[in-house]
Amino acid sequence: MPIHNEDIAAHFEEIADLLEIKGDNPFRIRAYRNGARAVRALPRSAAELLKGGEDLTRYPDIGEALATKIAELLRTGTTQAMENLRRQIPSSLEDLLRIPGLGPVRIRTLWHELGITDLDALEAAARAGRLRGLPGFGPKTEQKVLAAIEEHRKKKRRFLRSVAAEYGEPLADWLRAGRGVREVVIAGSYRRGRDTVGDLDVLAVAPDRSDVMTRFAGYEEVAEVVSLGPTRATVVLRCGLQVDLRRVRPESFGSALQYFTGSKAHSIQLRRRAQERGLKINEYGVFRDERRIAGDTEESVYAAVDLPWIPPELREARGEIEAAERGRLPRLVEPGDIRGELHCHTTATDGRADLEAMALAARQRGLEYLAITDHSQRLTMVGGLDADALARQIETIDRLNERLTGITLLKGVECDILEDGRLDLPDAVLARLDLVVGAVHSHFELSRRAQTDRILRAMDHPHFTLLAHPTGRLIGERPPYDVDLDRLIRHAAERGCFLELNSQPRRLDLDDLACMKAREAGVLVAIDTDAHSERDLDLRIHGVLQARRGWLEAGDVLNTRPLAELRPLLARTMGR
């Protein structure tokens, strides 16, 4: 069975977590985490690269030891390193990692100090008030753990959309090769661009004689066939992702696609509108009495109720039907509208490609400019730049710009916002930059008022351009810190600075609702990749999807502007 890059990365992340729970060497732990990032950044699947005779050690952060483990994992489905750890550490401890706020260090403390090895024991200890006396815990942490456990028990597992794509798109390609198959589309929240999905809804246009249903059940990554019929089937893939397949007729494809794309609230509004016109909409078509009058395309479904086609990303019952009725639907931003990148890293800190490699990769992707924003000195673990090192990088960028063609490097920094709201570097060096990207990387536990005031003070700095990943969330791993985002958006409008939509699939920060608020306030949003490698520059599609869900048009996005229009906007935030 194929092993995807995401499988390998998840394997390395799990090893790193177990090593950290065990209390192993920090450098060894970091090597596995870097290895996971490196595998995700590979240009093709590791299996393809090895089959083609490539040496994986030529890629950053993959040394001989990790390359050997990748080959072992592809060959056997596991690694000896993992098997050894599983013999040493209770497997139930891994379940605790799914509780936001409990990292490996805290889990190690719970295990060694209280003998806690599973969720039930953790809940009982928290309810008994036994956590608050542990190092790194306290009464507030104890309550947060209880709330997180309760929320965890309610939820079924959700997958990052980017991860679901790695499994769903090859399956869709497999189905397209079926006998008589005309079209295959992944619908549902996946098609609407949600940042996470619970399962996948797949539609296939195929005749009765097609083998698409048995082909679906026989797909090599299927772990369980839940049900199998002539028009409907459900399977669970080895990764745990449930996939539902519907085979539909061509004359019903548009109706089925609209119905299974959702959202439920949008579809209810659409059906109500149809009822007002004496029509009935279901997954088989649009009907007047018993006569089908539309349904072969989505456009025909919407036209039947006197509406233009509404992009899937907008179908959340947030005013899109009213906007469509008035001819006021936004012309949503497209990937091709993006002219440059305003947040990326190089080997000067924790990136995996040097300045020139990142510049050439950006040019290859048709970008006009690339801002180099390595970390500031506060992040010592990634070799953050102090004032002298940043000054040297500024000079290096100037020299490189003299000989580069087709791409311009902008001089920037991702500057830590300290607990008191100061920026992490002196004004003298910040003043030499084209832009300053401010970011919170510490003290996530501050109160709502303190966290908000801290960021507002940073935004008022005379050299502040852009607030990176404004809420600090890591989807499924770390909740947003408590901050008054509405106030930050209003302040950005007053100050004339900008907010980032970070395209890293684990961040997607701002979320869609915050993008809508920024648009309403007139605050421009930068869709950035926060790239740490050349391949990371391709992550922008995830940010664009999020922006589209937030109703953003090209004009609402800072980096859709050509460099000549961008420079004055950046200069204004830098006090020039």
pLDDT of residue 478: 84
The per-residue pLDDT for range 521-563, each reduced to its tens digit, is 999 999 999 999 999 999 999 999 999 999 999 999 999 999 9
CATH topology of domain 5-154: DNA polymerase; domain 1 (1.10.150)
The amino acid occupying position 507 is R
CB atoms within 10 A of CB 479: 17
**pLDDT classification of 133: cutoffs 50, 70, 90:** confident
Structure tokens at 568: 């004055």
46: left (phi over 0), alpha (psi -120 to 50) or beta: alpha
Q: pTM of the predicted model, to two decimals?
A: 0.84
Helix axes 119-127, 104-114, angle to 10 degrees: 70
The per-residue pLDDT for range 251-297, each reduced to its tens digit, is 999 999 999 998 998 999 999 999 999 999 999 999 999 899 999 99
pLDDT of residue 1: 64
Pairing of strands 183-186, 199-205: antiparallel
> For domain 159-248, is the CATH number 3.40.50.620?
no
For the cut 70, the answer to whether the pLDDT of residue 146 exceeds it is yes
Segment 480-500 shows an average pLDDT of: 96
For the cut 90, the answer to whether the pLDDT of residue 459 exceeds it is yes
Rounded Cα–Cα distance for residues 572 and 495 (Å): 10
For the cut 80, the answer to whether the pLDDT of residue 141 exceeds it is yes
Q: Considering the domain 335-573, what is its CATH architecture?
A: Alpha-Beta Barrel (3.20)
The per-residue pLDDT for range 43-65, each reduced to its tens digit, is 889 999 999 999 999 888 899 99
For the cut 80, the answer to whether the pLDDT of residue 431 exceeds it is yes
Question: Which of 231, 310, 234 is CA-nearest to residue 269?
Answer: 310
pLDDT of residue 193: 97
User: What residues contact 157, with CB distance under 8 A and at least 6 apart?
Assistant: 198, 240
User: What residues contact 155, with CB distance under 8 A and at least 6 apart?
Assistant: none
Question: Which of 77, 367, 478 is CA-nearest to residue 469?
Answer: 478
Segment 139-157 shows an average pLDDT of: 82
The per-residue pLDDT for range 326-368, each reduced to its tens digit, is 999 999 999 999 999 999 999 999 998 999 999 999 999 999 9
Mean per-residue pLDDT over the chain, rounded: 93
**pLDDT classification of 501: cutoffs 50, 70, 90:** very high
Question: Which of 66, 59, 93 is CA-nearest to residue 81?
Answer: 66
For the cut 80, the answer to whether the pLDDT of residue 156 exceeds it is no
- Domain extents in the chain: 5-154, 159-248, 253-325, 335-573
Question: What are the start-end ranges of the E strands in 198-331?
Answer: 199-205, 222-228, 232-237, 242-248, 280-282, 285-288, 291-294
For the cut 90, the answer to whether the pLDDT of residue 393 exceeds it is yes
For the cut 90, the answer to whether the pLDDT of residue 576 exceeds it is no
- The DSSP H or E segment spanning 395 is helix 387-403
Its sign, for the CA torsion 214, 218, 219, 224, is: positive
Structure tokens at 565: 């229009």
Rounded Cα–Cα distance for residues 320 and 309 (Å): 11
Question: Which of 214, 195, 194, 198 is CA-nearest to residue 206?
Answer: 214
Structure tokens at 38: 């490196």
CATH topology of domain 253-325: Beta Polymerase; domain 3 (3.30.210)
Percentage of the residues of the chain whose pLDDT score is greater than 70 = 99
In order of 27, 423, 513, the CA distances from 287 in angstroms are 65, 62, 35
- The DSSP H or E segment spanning 122 is helix 119-127
For the cut 90, the answer to whether the pLDDT of residue 147 exceeds it is no
Q: Where are the alpha helices (DSSP H) in 160-287?
A: 161-176, 188-191, 212-217, 253-261, 264-276
Extract long-range pairs of 293-301: CB within 8 Å, 24+ residues apart: 294/254, 294/255, 295/251, 295/252, 295/253, 295/254, 295/255, 296/250, 296/251, 296/252, 296/253, 296/254, 297/253, 297/254, 298/254, 298/257, 298/258, 299/254, 300/254, 301/254, 301/255, 301/258, 301/270
411 forms beta bridges with 372
84 forms beta bridges with none
pLDDT of residue 383: 83
CA quadruple 489, 501, 338, 361: dihedral, nearest 10:
140
